[in-house]
Amino acid sequence: MTKYSSEFKAKVVQEYLSGRLSYKSLCTKYSIPSPKPVREWVKQAQVHGLESLQRKHTKTFYSLEQKLAVVD
């Protein structure tokens, strides 16, 4: 599964909402293999706003010291 940046998603959604291009046309223009993610981004943005397209989960990295402190 390809991950797209929040900025890219917002750009595609805004272009769709402007009425210039269809889902299929946007997929062709931006080399997105399926219109499904674009439809999901648009729906999410319409319900929750463009800021909802931001990535929310980041991996937390722990140092060796932190890991050992938990085990001890």
pLDDT on residue 57: 66
Single-letter code of the amino acid located at 60: T
pLDDT on residue 13: 95
Structure tokens at 33: 């293999």
The DSSP-derived string for 30-67 is HT-S-SHHHHHHHHHHHHH-GGGGS---------HHHH
- pTM comes to 0.71
pLDDT on residue 52: 86
Q: Which residues contact 27 (CB under 8 A, 6 or more apart)?
A: 33, 34, 35, 38
